[in-house]
Structure 1
């Protein structure tokens, strides 16, 4: 199995990342809505939705939202929050989703670059494009690899819920590899995360190949302009 098929379905993944900043995520969405003039008539598809935190907030604001993710356990958890206008499905992001067309597609919090080749990356972007209406918008939120290369901690230990997570990170030519090891209930565990080092040039090629266009680029969740060296994030706004 691929690393993302085991790790994202593990309960320990959600323990390790339980302290994600939900207020920051909500403020990011608020900023996007204002900046891009998104209104509640727009239907949203969240690609790589995890347990649905972004979907749930969009829905609370009045949007009709669909979330898709490969992790069955994450989708099972997200489904507890379903409403008439909020639905979740297990789905491979490399494939077109149903026959629906959406006004907005989101791929947030580095939910891209998990595959090991450019073909799968292109399939993902093409599938998103195929699920957008003409004039639809893709919001893709990725890390700024230039900043990550400068600031990456090679080792750290995080204690969460009584578990000591030992995390080792390294950068190869094409990936950031994170090894996560810990012991729980007298059993040793080890997982891995691999995310491709995708630059703005890589994304530009992927987007252009899909016949979408990048219309704006932001560098953080406050939507400040992107700086290749100092920005925390690479947030692409793409139009079909």
Structure 2
């Protein structure tokens, strides 16, 4: 594509590469319809939209079908491969968010849905990515940032975390002893090809959401373990980071139906302009 001006640097694999199709099923089930409707209510079809951390294309593909022009980027080659399999005509590129391979001011809008911010190694890297995103956005363009509300998660999980009222060590033991009966007893999350057990906590020192996922596959009846971590920001911190990257915060929302933001909101959504 003509808007690309440099090659991507070599990227390391990440948890989403490891999880592959498992993550595709988890992500597809979580809020996707509400997110797409939110985007349709706030985007226009005039220019090119960048889908940041597009993953399997769960936002990109439906919006493309509605007539929007989009380019998807992600750091996971496996998720991008799944996106291409789902819709061969989409444009997706594997990138390093700290050094985007695009010219200046090429995107009319940038969407960052479902907590895409916070996976880079450090807060400094997050700030670098914000500066890069501002560089590629046209003047007057819109940047949508949707992340977990850390205040609500702190209240829900605190330091100890929870895994459906059972600690993760007990889960491992029960899995070995009882197999599928564990899931029937606990009524845990079921997806098309697997069951998911989750231990979740907020690490107050690193400000990270830390998940320990046990995935029990239906076809092979094997248990796989994954560690998932993402850095979270208070609303004031994220607003400050965006402002320093020369974004203007227009409004802060607490949900996909334009709910007012509060400490109890499950989402923290910032609509910003350049």
- What TM-score, normalized by structure 1, do the two folds share? 0.87
Identify the residue that residue 36 of structure 1 maps to in structure 2: none
**Cα distance in 1 between the residues matched to 2:256 and 2:243:** 24
Post-superposition offset of 1:5: 5.2
Q: RMSD in angstroms over aligned alpha carbons?
A: 2.1
How far apart, in 2, do the equivalents of 1:41 and 1:159 lie? 40
Query: Any idea what SS the aligned residue of 2:59 has?
Result: helix
- TM-aligned CA deviation for residue 210 of structure 1: 1.0
Could you list the per-position Cα deviations for residues 199-235 of structure 1 after superposition, in whole angstroms to 9, with x for gaps in the alignment?
Answer: 11211221122112111111100012222x1222111
Q: How many residues align?
A: 231
Map 1:1-240; keep pairs closer than 5 Å.
3-4=14-15, 6-8=17-19, 10-33=20-43, 39-80=44-85, 81-83=87-89, 86-99=90-103, 101-152=106-157, 154-156=162-164, 157-161=188-192, 163-173=194-204, 174-184=207-217, 185=220, 187-227=222-262, 229-240=263-274
Structure 1 pair 226/170, CA: closer, same or farther in 2 (3 Å)? same
Could you say which structure has the larger radius of gyration? 2
Unaligned runs of 5+ in 2: 1-11, 165-187
Distance 1:135 1:191, change over 3 A: same
Structure 1 moving runs of 4+ over 6 Å? none
Residue pair 2:17, 2:78 contacting (<8 A) in 1 also: no
Contact 2:70/2:91 (8 A) holds in 1: yes
Is the CA contact (8 Å cut-off) linking 1:31 and 1:223 kept in structure 2?
no
Note the residue ranges of structure 1 that are not aligned, 5 or more in a row: 34-38
Partner SS for 1:155 = coil
CA contact (8 A) 2:108 2:141 kept: yes
